[in-house]
Structure 1
Amino acid sequence: MTVRMVTVKYMLLIYSNPESWASLSAEQREGLARAHHDLTRELTEQGMLVSSAGLADPITTRTVSVADDDSRTTTDGPYAEAKEHLAGFYLVECDDIDQAIDYAARMPDAKYVAVEVRPVMDTSGLEM
């Protein structure tokens, strides 16, 4: 009888801010891009990558909220008043959160601002 380990999906949320990005040299930016390319290739080869993408500049962001009377409000930019913004993500399938944390720590962005690791809920929502 073969026992199959159940994997869990994790979002690896990459945060950045204008100051940290502006402080990088061209060589550091190239290194960051290479590191992401290498990590993406590794995760793909291991069958762990579900999806990944960088996000457009926060200036292109719109935040939408709907009031109790169903009136809609749209504001420019991210909702949070913070310097940091969500810059990209990886959606990966891992054996456990420790494995997801290990991959997040390998992302070059973790050295500059942060990478958040968050389990993705399945349809039951029991992860909360």
Structure 2
Amino acid sequence: MKYMVLMYADPAATEAMSAEERADVFRRHEALHQDLEGSGEMLNGAGLAYPKDTTTIRWRDGDGSATTDGPFIEATEQLTAYYVIDCASPERARAIAERVVDFHVVAVEVRAIHDSFGMDGA
């Protein structure tokens, strides 16, 4: 089953990280990538631009769409990176996700991917 692992962090804390802290985060993610690529479980993943550099487009009933600068939801923690993994069970997906929670990535959401955009009634 495919899963999306969504990582959340405080962008201000990310900007304030020392070079040593950034190197530690990089090393841990690189080790995880290598493990998951070796097992065939890593399909994709990337870090995302800071939320302040995003655009949100919302549907306004009767008015079409409206565009605003910034993230979809105002919050301290914002979506910062993601992995797409393919593994045998929800438990395995959660075990992978637990490897990225730390002082930087303070929350991780694990969500199953439905190939038909979630519209298959599941």
Unpaired runs of at least 5, structure 1: 1-7
Contact 2:3 2:93 in 1 (8 A): yes
Q: Which residue does 2:41 correspond to in 1?
A: 48
Deviations 1:52-83 (A, max 9, x none): 00001111111101223352210111121211
The residue identity in structure 1 corresponding to 2:19 is A
Larger radius of gyration: 1
The counterpart of 2:4, out of the listed 11, 29, 32, is 11
Identity score, percent:
38
Q: TM-score, normalised by structure 1?
A: 0.83
Q: Which residue does 2:102 correspond to in 1?
A: 111
Deviations 1:24-79 (A, max 9, x none): 33212101001111111111111111110000111111110122335221011112
The counterpart of 1:78, out of the listed 71, 75, 79, is 71
Unpaired runs of at least 5, structure 2: none
Contact 2:11 2:51 in 1 (8 A): no
Q: 1:60 to 1:24 in 2, by over 3 A?
A: closer
| TM-fit CA distance, 1:126 | 3.6
Q: Which residue does 1:93 correspond to in 2?
A: 86
The residue identity in structure 1 corresponding to 2:48 is L
Count of residues in correspondence between the two structures: 118
Cα distance in 2 for partners of 1:92, 1:126 equals: 22
1:125 maps to 2:116: no
Cα distance in 2 for partners of 1:13, 1:93 equals: 14
Contact 2:11 2:50 in 1 (8 A): no
Q: TM-score, normalised by structure 2?
A: 0.87
Cα distance in 1 for partners of 2:16, 2:113 equals: 33
Cα distance in 2 for partners of 1:114, 1:18 equals: 13
